[in-house]
């Protein structure tokens, strides 16, 4: 019973997975796309996450496995080129998320040094250093990774909730409140596209699937863990978006796009508020990198175990799966090559496709799971629409992000096809 997880811990896994570095990384990007309708953009993305979680609930209860999403994909499509490619896409999407968190860390870190009147280094130095440091910790002790994450969840939630309360008080009489008026919203398609670009801020709930075998009273607690954590995060994000748009003029948000949450604390608390949010962002993004490195290497190991990647990935490097080092090196390359919007676009497209597939599996296996067909079907259709709108919108404003996403998807299928072809000849 010692290794079992209660409802509180299961909800913490979901919240910790979502409120990682995502909100710090993509809030400014969301405002640049949705303007005064940013809270609605977060609501759109949250509703899609909530609908998708229904399939996760049913699949987690029926096919409880530490492989989580990877196992669901294999359950729905067998061990085929398609299932292998989608599982590979999940692993690559972890790498993209790691790049997003490292990018956010690199954007917030210079602000702290400038406050202490020290010369700040280039963004890439901070982003690269935090990946290397987190990799060293992962190799040193997995127990430390868990401890860092458990403390970080509490610290970042306390600071974000304090930001909400102080920020809400600071909104009284703030002239920027008019920015939240419907006349300041982008059109519905742009609002929806804005929500989908920052969909990566919600993807972390899928970590509950990996913990499902250890959750006590799974019939009751698995649904509660998914639904409670997602609903809590939707409300948290909407209020944070509301306070941020109501606190700062759009021009200032655009200037401080990569560290907008810290900038939004300035009107209420001045430099102290700016410093506190900056520290919270650094703790959050660092803990998210730590946990995602571990999660990414486990996904990679599971795929190799299922014969969908070469068994070389099952070998160990310094007593850890070799996938940990591959994940870390790939993240280092990505964060130094792509900009924040391209990383966010690639991550959102990746997870929207994966969640669309999970919804399709939920629909196809509804008889086995005892679930309704209409909710997974709605989730699948909405994910398809979301990917289409996101690609269309981003192709006009951020062509590189879309091309990178398409190249990644193609690469996942090509690698899996080559591997399966090679194996069949043996």
CATH code, domain carrying 410? 1.20.1740.10
The predicted model gives 41-59 an average pLDDT of 95
Task: Report pLDDT for 358.
Answer: 95
Give a yes or no: residue 184 inside a domain.
yes
Task: Report pLDDT for 232.
Answer: 95
Give a yes or no: residue 424 inside a domain.
no
Percent of the chain with pLDDT over 70: 94
Task: Report pLDDT for 116.
Answer: 65
Give a yes or no: residue 209 inside a domain.
yes
Q: How confident is the model at residue 1 (pLDDT cuts 50, 70, 90)?
A: very low
Give a yes or no: residue 426 inside a domain.
no
Report the C-alpha gap between 187 and 313 in whole angstroms: 46
pLDDT in tens, 69-105: 989 999 999 888 899 999 999 989 888 888 988 988 8
- From the list 137, 88, 125, the residue with the least C-alpha distance to 419 is 88
The predicted model gives 126-154 an average pLDDT of 80
Give a yes or no: residue 63 inside a domain.
yes
Report the C-alpha gap between 367 and 369 in whole angstroms: 6
The predicted model gives 326-354 an average pLDDT of 87
pLDDT in tens, 355-414: 999 999 999 999 999 999 999 999 999 999 999 988 888 888 888 888 989 999 999 999
Q: Are 185 and 40 in contact (CB under 8 A)?
A: yes
Give a yes or no: residue 187 inside a domain.
yes
Report the C-alpha gap between 327 and 134 in whole angstroms: 12
Q: Kindly give the pairing relationship between strand 320-321 and strand 316-317.
A: antiparallel
Report the C-alpha gap between 46 and 52 in whole angstroms: 10
Task: Report pLDDT for 382.
Answer: 94
Higher pLDDT, residue 60 or 341? 60
Domain that holds residue 128: 7-419
Total structural domains within the chain = 1
Task: Report pLDDT for 292.
Answer: 79
Give a yes or no: residue 273 inside a domain.
yes
Of these ranges, 122-131, 195-204, 376-385, the one predicted with the greatest mean pLDDT is 376-385
- From the list 50, 69, 41, 64, the residue with the least C-alpha distance to 378 is 50
pLDDT of 32 > 90? The answer is no
Q: Are 276 and 284 in contact (CB under 8 A)?
A: no
Task: Report pLDDT for 345.
Answer: 84
Percent of the chain with pLDDT over 90: 27
pLDDT in tens, 217-238: 989 999 999 999 999 999 999 9
Q: How confident is the model at residue 115 (pLDDT cuts 50, 70, 90)?
A: low
Higher pLDDT, residue 273 or 382? 382
- Kindly report the backbone phi and psi dihedral angles of residue 13, in degrees, each rounded to the nearest multiple of 5, phi listed first: -60, -45
Higher pLDDT, residue 22 or 356? 356
pLDDT of 52 > 80? The answer is yes
Name the average pLDDT for the chain: 85
Higher pLDDT, residue 344 or 355? 355
pLDDT of 318 > 80? The answer is no
Q: How confident is the model at residue 6 (pLDDT cuts 50, 70, 90)?
A: confident
Give a yes or no: residue 376 inside a domain.
yes
- The region of weakest confidence among 43-47, 315-319, 342-346, 349-353 is 315-319
């Amino acid at each position: 019973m010692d290794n079992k997880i209660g409802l509180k811990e299961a909800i913490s896994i979901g919240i910790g997975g979502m409120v990682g570095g995502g909100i710090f990384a993509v809030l400014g990007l969301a405002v640049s796309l949705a303007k005064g309708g940013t809270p609605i953009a977060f609501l759109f993305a949250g509703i899609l996450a909530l609908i998708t979680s229904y399939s996760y609930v049913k699949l987690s209860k029926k096919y409880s496995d530490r492989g989580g999403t990877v196992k669901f994909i294999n359950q729905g499509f067998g061990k085929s080129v398609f299932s292998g490619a989608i599982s590979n896409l999940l692993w690559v999407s972890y790498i993209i998320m790691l790049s997003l968190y490292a990018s956010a860390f690199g954007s917030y870190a210079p602000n702290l040094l400038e406050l202490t009147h020290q010369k700040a280094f280039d963004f890439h130095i901070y982003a690269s250093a935090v990946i290397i440091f987190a990799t060293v910790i992962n190799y040193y002790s997995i127990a430390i990774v868990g401890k860092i994450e458990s403390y970080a969840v509490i610290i970042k939630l306390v600071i974000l909730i304090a930001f909400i309360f102080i920020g809400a008080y600071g909104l009284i009489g703030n002239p920027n409140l008019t920015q939240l008026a419907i006349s300041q919203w982008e059109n519905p398609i742009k609002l929806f596209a804005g929500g989908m670009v920052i969909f990566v801020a919600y993807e972390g709930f899928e970590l509950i699937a990996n913990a499902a075998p250890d959750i006590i009273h799974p019939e009751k607690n698995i649904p509660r863990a998914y639904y409670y954590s997602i609903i809590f995060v939707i409300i948290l994000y909407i209020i944070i978006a509301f306070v941020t748009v109501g606190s700062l003029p759009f021009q200032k948000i655009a200037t401080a796009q990569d560290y907008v949450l810290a900038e939004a604390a300035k009107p209420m608390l001045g430099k102290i508020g700016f410093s506190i949010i900056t520290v919270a962002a650094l703790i959050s993004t660092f803990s998210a990198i730590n946990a995602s490195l571990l999660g990414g290497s486990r996904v990679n190991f599971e795929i190799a175990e299922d014969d969908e990647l070469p068994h070389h990935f099952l070998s160990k490097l310094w007593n850890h799966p070799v996938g940990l080092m591959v994940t870390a090196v790939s993240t280092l390359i990505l964060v130094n090559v792509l900009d924040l919007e391209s990383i966010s676009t690639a991550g959102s497209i990746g997870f929207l496709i994966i969640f669309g597939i999970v919804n399709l599996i939920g629909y196809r296996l509804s008889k086995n799971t005892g679930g309704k067909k209409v909710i997974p079907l709605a989730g699948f259709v909405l994910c398809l629409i979301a990917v289409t709108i996101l690609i269309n919108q981003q192709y006009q404003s951020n062509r590189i992000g879309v091309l990178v996403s398409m190249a990644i998807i193609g690469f996942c299928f090509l690698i899996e096809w080559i591997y399966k072809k090679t194996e069949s000849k043996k």
